[in-house]
Structures are given as structure tokens and as C-alpha cells.
A and B are shown apart, each in its own frame.
Chain A
Amino acid sequence: MSYKPFMKKSIWVILAAFVASCTPTKIVVPLEEGQVQVGATLGRPKINSGSLPLLGIYAAKGVSESTTAYGAAQLSSALFGAIQLDGGVVKSLRPSQGFTPGFSYSYGGNVFFSARDYAVRVYPEAGANMFWQRGPHILNVSVNSWVDPTWFLAEYGRGQILAPSLGAGYRLRYKWLEVQAEYKVVNPTREIHVPQAYVPSTLGLGGRGFYWGAAINF
């Protein structure tokens, strides 16, 4: 039995991946007070033998020395009639010093709105970052989890309250430029299933892939 080309088959997965709590970690180290960052993110979750492009845009602003607020929109979802916005804050707990890591945490929310039937879903999220910063170089290990307050709406009782993700990455914050690369394991507490597609997993659970970002600092 022959099938149509890879991309056509995989659009489901694009949608699956961008919503599966796997938007990139936008800010790890809070910006300086008053600093504004505008950027774009590209998620590359793995599917079959390749990866897929999930595009998003975001803006962030350092509202104090230790707190940065951000807002973002996922463009891939808009293509299919769903508005996906997220926003939140990242707060510094302690800076990185030498080999001693710094820590920050974040919280916020994600909103999905269907342009077809006006269905709305809201998923709060919280995360923590451990990072090492040396000059413009930042290494990070991050954990994050979305909370599904409407898990009971999932059919046949298959909803889960938490949708966690784990990530490790590198970012270069140099003057007006910031670029980032991160490898993420998403939803490792459940099997991600897409009909007639193979989703590379970790021990049979979740999905994974590289996420990229580029931003300009003002």
C-alpha cells in the first residue's frame, strides 16, 4: 500500500507536537531591567525519520532585575484555525557563579481557542531552570509542566493532570543577539500516539526533539 509524501502524512504530528507542552523554554536567565527581547522559536520534534517545523514568536521584557515577563504566539496552530497564546514570568532565584549553578523559576499559562467552535482550553504551567552562565554563554537544564485543569474532559478517562517536559540547552546572549538550542523530552509520562505515524519516544513514552530560537535584545 502506497502513501502520500511524508509531509502530508505528518501534519497531524505538527499539531500534536506543538501543543504537547513543548513550546521552547524562552527565557532561562531573566533579562536586565527595562530590556526588551523579541524573538522567534522553531521546534523540531521528531516524527518518523525526520523532524517537523513548529514556528512561534515571542516578546519578553525585564520588569525588574530579577523578573522578566513574556508573551508568545504559536503560528503553526494558527494555520489550522487554533489560536495558541502563552504568557508568564521568569524569576531569578540566584545567579550563576563559577561552577555553581544559578536557578530561576517560571510560571504562566497557555490558552487555546478554536476558531471553528470557539472551544477554549487554558493550561497553567510552571517550571524551574538550573543554569551556568559565563559571559555570553548560558547552559541550562530545565523542567516544566503544564497543568491540565480540564483533564476530566478527555474521553474515556484518559486525561492526565500534568504534562511535564525536560530540556537541556545552550544559549548565547551577546549584546543585541540571543540564540538558543535546546533538546527536549516532552510528556514522558504517557504514550504519544499519532495514527499511521511513528513518534520517537523515550522508553516508549512521550516525544522528543530539538528546539531552536533567535531573538533581538533592545
Chain B
Amino acid sequence: MKQMLYIIALCLGLASCADISFAMLYGGSGEYNFSNADLDTAYHIDEEKIHLFTVPSEDDTIHGMYLGDFSQLENDTIIVYLHGNGPSMDGFWSTVAVLANIGHQHRYGVVMYDYRGYGKSTGTTQNAASMAADYDAVMLWLEHRGLTSDRMVVFANSLGSLPAGPAAAGGSRITVEKLVMEVPQSSADVIMQNATGLSLPSSMITEYNFNLGQDMENYPGELLWMHAEEDDVAPVETARSAMRRHEGTYYREEVYPNVGHGLRWDIGNEEWTRVIHEFILN
């Protein structure tokens, strides 16, 4: 018995505080050279409508981008795009350009930003609290420029669903009334359990706990869930279980067969924008 206690004490001493989140989150460098040369002509953005900005988030600086005229923030619908797990906003430039041009050229203002440790944003994203702080910093920037909840659409792609969930569940200073979840994850525990085949909680390896099913249960607004049947990054079964916990004012799901996590590229811009625009106008 004494030996066993020694072993346990030794293991406790060996147990470090390393967190798996540093490996889950692929933040990297960003150039922020947003050029029409990278875009299909149908989705070009006038240079004067591309605005880069920074906001403070606790001790860090968040870099963001706004596409559109600032006057739109006061009187038009704005899409807040929470990007996926790529190094920086650079990888999502073509996506936000499409969003800005849904309906007709420069129809919607679009905001996007890099989480801590992504692109030029300083610091490191470690947990739900840092994600929430970064989101709130951008919300504050938008609020000061006149954006109100009835004109805001939050669009979360993959990793972006992590800050979007708690925000929709009441954690947003500008209340979320319309939310698009595109290829979202479901929960940190599900990721752990899918990776191990055991009923292990994610706390075994990370403090980054999230539960989008719980968030959707607490989100009263409108939800559009878009997913791919063959998604090998965010399995459709568990995402479906999480999204269908939503009991808000409106729910729509679009699940596409024979396509993967890169949904927009797989289904094409025409179908992608059709569904999103119908939801925005709903």
C-alpha cells in the first residue's frame, strides 16, 4: 500500500500542465495582402472597402478586417465571420469576399478577425475564456460603430463554432439573433472520445472545454446548420446531435451528401450563397 502511494505521488509530481489546445489550434503567420487577384471576378471587393483594424483584448491585440462602408454598420446587415482552424484570415479571404457579394456586389458588410495566436494577433488562444474575450473585443468595436443585434448575422465556420456557441447562448454584448453554423464541432468531450474510443473527458488533456449542444439549447434565436455527410474533421453525427438541441425561433439544416469539410468548395458558391441568403432574408 505504501509503495502504491509512492507511485501515485510520483505520478502526480510528473504530471505537468501542458495542454493539448496548443496542438489543436493551428494559429500561424498572416500576410494580410488581400487582393482581387485571388478572387473570381464575380466576388471582387473595391479596395476602398477593405479596412484592417486592431482592437485590444485583455493584454493582447486582435487584428481584424471589415469589408464594406462604415455607414453600413449603422444601418445595414453585417455578417460577423468567425473563421476556421487555419493559420490566419488569409486563408478565408475568398470566403468573406463571397459573403460580401451575396445578392449583389458589396451587398453585405463583413467582419472577420484573427483569434490570439492566429495571423498578426498577439498572444495564444488557450481556452474558451480567451476566445470569448477576443470575440467581445470585436463586438465592442462593432457596437461603438452602431451595429445592433437585429442587423447582425454571426457566421461560424468549423473552429469558429467554439466562440460562436457561447456567444449565441447569451455571451454576446450584441445579442445574436441569427447564427450560421457551418461544419461545426460538437464538444471537446466528443473529440476526446472519438479519438480514444473511451468515455474519457477532455479534461484529461485540455482545459479548453466546450459544448455546442448545450449552447444551442440555450440559444433562442434563428439557426442555420450546414454540414457535409463525409466530413472527416467534424463528424456529422455528433454535430447533428448538438445542433438539433436548438429550440429557438427558427431552425434549418442543410446536410450535403458526398462532400467534405471544405463545404463551400465542394457544393459550389451558387448553392452555398443561395442557402445563406435565404436564411439572412428569412
Query: Is A83's CB within 8 Å of the partner chain B?
Result: yes
Interface residues of A in 7-40 (CB under 8 A from B): 8-13, 15-16, 19-21
A-B contact count (CB 8 A): 161
Contact of A156 among B22, B190, B197, B206 (CB under 8 A): B190
Q: Which residues of A contact B165 (CB under 8 A)?
A: none
Distance in angstroms between the alpha carbons of A140 and B86 in the assembled complex: 45
**Given A15-B195, A193-B232, A195-B233: A80 touches B18 (CB 8 Å cut-off):** yes
Q: A81, B19: Cβ atoms under 8 Å?
A: yes
Residue of B with least CB distance to A11:
B23
Query: Is B281's CB within 8 Å of the partner chain A?
Result: no
Q: Which residues of A contact B197 (CB under 8 A)?
A: 20-21, 160, 163, 187, 190, 192
Identify the interface centre among A78, A85, A160, A193: most chain B CB within 10 Å of its CB: A193
Q: B87, A2: Cβ atoms under 8 Å?
A: yes
Query: Is A200's CB within 8 Å of the partner chain B?
Result: no
Distance in angstroms between the alpha carbons of A86 and B12 in the assembled complex: 15
Q: A20, B196: Cβ atoms under 8 Å?
A: yes
Q: A12, B91: Cβ atoms under 8 Å?
A: no
Query: Is A93's CB within 8 Å of the partner chain B?
Result: no
Q: A195, B234: Cβ atoms under 8 Å?
A: yes
Query: Is A154's CB within 8 Å of the partner chain B?
Result: yes
Q: Which residues of B contact A196 (CB under 8 A)?
A: 26, 85, 233
Distance in angstroms between the alpha carbons of A184 and B24 in the assembled complex: 26
Q: B16, A78: Cβ atoms under 8 Å?
A: yes
Residue of A with least CB distance to B201:
A119
B interface residues, how many (CB within 8 angstroms) = 50
Interface size class of A (residues with CB under 8 A): 35 or more
Interface residues of B in 63-92 (CB under 8 A from A): 85-87, 91
Q: A1, B195: Cβ atoms under 8 Å?
A: no
Distance in angstroms between the alpha carbons of A187 and B198 in the assembled complex: 10
Q: Which residues of B contact A21 (CB under 8 A)?
A: 197-198
Q: A193, B194: Cβ atoms under 8 Å?
A: yes
Query: Is B186's CB within 8 Å of the partner chain A?
Result: yes
Query: Is A71's CB within 8 Å of the partner chain B?
Result: yes
Q: B196, A19: Cβ atoms under 8 Å?
A: yes
Contact of B190 among A11, A77, A155 (CB under 8 A): A155
Interface residues of A in 105-125 (CB under 8 A from B): 112, 114-117, 119, 121, 123
Q: Which residues of A contact B190 (CB under 8 A)?
A: 155-156, 158
Distance in angstroms between the alpha carbons of A112 and B201 in the assembled complex: 10
Q: Which residues of A contact B91 (CB under 8 A)?
A: 1
Name the distance in Å between B89's Cβ and chain A's nearest Cβ. 12
Identify the interface centre among B18, B87, B186, B200: most chain A CB within 10 Å of its CB: B200
Chain A positions within 8 Å of B, measured between CB atoms, are: 1-4, 8-13, 15-16, 19-21, 71, 73, 75, 77-83, 85, 112, 114-117, 119, 121, 123, 146, 148, 150-156, 158-160, 163, 187, 190-196
In the complex, the 10 A-B pairs of residues with the closest C-beta atoms, listed nearest first? A16-B195, A11-B23, A82-B204, A193-B194, A156-B241, A78-B14, A187-B197, A154-B199, A153-B199, A83-B11
Could you list 16 A-B pairs, sorted by A, with CB under 8 Å?
A1-B87, A3-B87, A9-B23, A12-B20, A13-B195, A19-B200, A73-B11, A112-B200, A121-B199, A123-B198, A146-B198, A159-B199, A187-B197, A193-B195, A193-B235, A194-B195
**Extra pairs beyond A83-B12, A150-B199, A158-B237 (15, CB < 8 Å):** A9-B26, A10-B23, A15-B204, A16-B196, A20-B197, A21-B197, A71-B7, A83-B15, A115-B17, A117-B201, A121-B201, A158-B238, A159-B199, A192-B197, A193-B235
